[in-house]
Amino acid sequence: MDQQQKPKVEQPPQKKMLRTSRFPGFYNFDVWERLDKLGDWYPLTTKEKWILKNETLTAEKADVMIENVIGVFGLPLGVAVNFRINDKDWVIPMAVEETSIVAACSNLAKLIRENGKLTANASHAVMEGQVQLVHPHDSKQAAKDIMEAKERLLNLANKHDRTLVSLGGGAKDLYVRRLETDSGIMLIVHLAVDVVDAMGANAVNTMVEALGPVLGEIAKAEVVCQIISNLCDKSLVKAKVELNPDCLKSKTFSGMAVAERIVKAFHFADADPYRAATHNKGIMNGVDAVLIATGNDWRAVEAGVHAYAAHTGRYRSLSKYRIEGGKLIGEIELPIAVGVVGGVSKLHTGVELLLRLMGMPSRRELAEVVATVGLVQNMAALRALVTEGIQEGHMTLHARNVAYSAGAIGDMAIAVANQMIQEGRIRFDRAKEILKKMIVHKQGTPENGQ
């Protein structure tokens, strides 16, 4: 007799675990515990954990990167957690020596993911090279002749980087600007190049150096400079934060009052270049930290960003804030040129690993992350500035720095720092006094003079 087949018991569908950048209490762990926790985000091997903790760059590799190498110089490497940008979670590496930057970004990112949203959008990766033509025989006719030769010039430029062209990039446009200078009339020829996922400096410089002699002949002019421009205003990135202001409340102010004060602080920075310089430096605290960790030319981005801050003819705030529909809206627009292929990413073991930790972002995604971190860092700084003041946020780590400088280590350094904070006396001499008393107390009072 055939046994009746048992009916299949339908199992409830397994809920797929999604990666999240939310790491509660991450700051409470020690370094190895943090690296272990990151295994929930990216499967780090023991060797990779060791590289991140101890040896992201060796002197031997540094020796092929720059000249006269005598060693390597370290910066603290942290990760900003809690970020969700365009509905995608990110764990973001940041290399920076300044206290509170990583914490401020992570803390505000947590508030935003629970009470608002972050969005960003990067334009195409277009970099421009410039060819300087001095003393043209007839500047108007020379400009006309150059533009008539545009297609031939673009084809010539693209012959010098067929790989870039095969990836969909390459020289895409060319135009001429006329400048009146103390050296006389100059024609500046701009070559616009789509650099795809590279930063593109080498590609652009090679192209404009190839075009220089040809342009000199066409314009009957002297060629002086042929070089990339770091004002990459064809590669703009926009980021936006929308936030319910209730989560910003402090001991003294309601959430909406804090939001209104942030807007007023923005108006101050937008109207006064003295304040704008410090305001924008706060933005670059976040931007530069990500650029350094991902092996990008932070100096080039700094130059371009600060030039763009003055593109209206006056140096102004790079970020903007307003209250709209009961929400605090923050926006930023930055010219950002980054690369995720070639260059340092192939030489620096740490950079390569950190890009993998991020999920191997495209150039566009990395630019969006960089701009967003700059905006979040700026909003966090403004929030602190208009409420308890900027110093309170720095207090804990500053106190620990002083304690370490006085000779305290481990738990004792934390205890010394906490006592100085309670007393409101964070000074080297006070740290020494507290440390001495703690050591005596720990050792105990010698008995019978022994």
Residue 434, domain CATH: 1.10.8
Catalytic annotation, pick one of 172, 327, 394, 432: 394
- Residue 135 annotated to the active site: no
Looking at residue 236, what is its pLDDT? 96
- Tell whether the model's pLDDT for residue 283 goes beyond 80: yes
pLDDT in tens, 190-234: 999 999 988 889 999 999 999 999 999 999 999 999 999 999 999
Q: Which residue has the higher pLDDT, 141 or 394?
A: 141
Looking at residue 7, what is its pLDDT? 43
Q: How far apart are CA 291 and CA 269, in angstroms?
A: 24
pLDDT in tens, 300-346: 999 999 999 999 999 999 999 999 999 999 999 999 999 988 777 77
Neighbouring-strand partners of residue 109: none
Q: What is the pTM of this model?
A: 0.85
Based on the domain organization, do 177 and 194 belong to the same domain? yes
- Tell whether the model's pLDDT for residue 68 goes beyond 60: yes
User: 3-class DSSP state for residue 180?
Assistant: strand
pLDDT in tens, 78-118: 999 999 999 999 999 999 998 889 999 999 999 999 999 99
In percent, the amount of the chain with pLDDT more than 90 equals 71
pLDDT in tens, 403-442: 888 888 878 888 898 898 888 888 889 999 998 888 888 7
Tokens at residue 333, please? 């627009």
pLDDT in tens, 359-387: 999 999 999 999 999 999 999 999 999 99
Based on the domain organization, do 104 and 175 belong to the same domain? no
Catalytic annotation, pick one of 88, 172, 281, 327: 281
Q: How far apart are CA 40 and CA 138, in angstroms?
A: 66
Residue in 284, 318, 286, 282 with CA at minimum distance from that of residue 92: 286
Tell me if 177 sits within 8 A of 187, measured CB to CB.
yes
Looking up tokens 């304040």 gives 275
The CATH code of the domain that includes 170 is 3.30.70.420
- Tell whether the model's pLDDT for residue 6 goes beyond 50: no
- Tell whether the model's pLDDT for residue 3 goes beyond 60: no
Give the number of domains in the chain: 3
Looking at residue 410, what is its pLDDT? 76
Picking from 209, 229, 249, the residue at the C-terminal end of a domain is 229
Based on the domain organization, do 168 and 147 belong to the same domain? yes
The pLDDT mean for the chain works out to 90
- Residue 246 annotated to the active site: no
Judge whether 254 lies within some domain. yes
Based on the domain organization, do 270 and 380 belong to the same domain? yes
Judge whether 83 lies within some domain. yes
Judge whether 15 lies within some domain. no
Judge whether 84 lies within some domain. yes
Based on the domain organization, do 293 and 368 belong to the same domain? yes
- Tell whether the model's pLDDT for residue 401 goes beyond 90: no
Tell me if 161 sits within 8 A of 277, measured CB to CB.
no
Picking from 229, 260, 294, the residue at the C-terminal end of a domain is 229
Phi/psi of residue 439, nearest 5 degrees: -65, -45
Looking at residue 18, what is its pLDDT? 63
pLDDT band, residue 399 (cuts 50/70/90): confident
Catalytic annotation, pick one of 98, 114, 246, 429: 98
Judge whether 86 lies within some domain. yes
Based on the domain organization, do 250 and 383 belong to the same domain? yes
Catalytic annotation, pick one of 197, 270, 288, 297: 297
Based on the domain organization, do 215 and 150 belong to the same domain? yes
Based on the domain organization, do 153 and 93 belong to the same domain? no
pLDDT band, residue 8 (cuts 50/70/90): very low
- Residue 388 annotated to the active site: no
| CB count in 10 Å sphere of residue 248 | 24
Tell me if 336 sits within 8 A of 231, measured CB to CB.
no
Based on the domain organization, do 104 and 252 belong to the same domain? yes
Judge whether 17 lies within some domain. no
- Tell whether the model's pLDDT for residue 445 goes beyond 90: no
Based on the domain organization, do 308 and 365 belong to the same domain? yes
Based on the domain organization, do 76 and 205 belong to the same domain? no
Tell me if 195 sits within 8 A of 127, measured CB to CB.
yes
Q: How far apart are CA 324 and CA 386, in angstroms?
A: 20
- Residue 320 annotated to the active site: no
Range of the domain at 43: 26-123+235-388
Judge whether 117 lies within some domain. yes
Based on the domain organization, do 252 and 375 belong to the same domain? yes
Judge whether 101 lies within some domain. yes
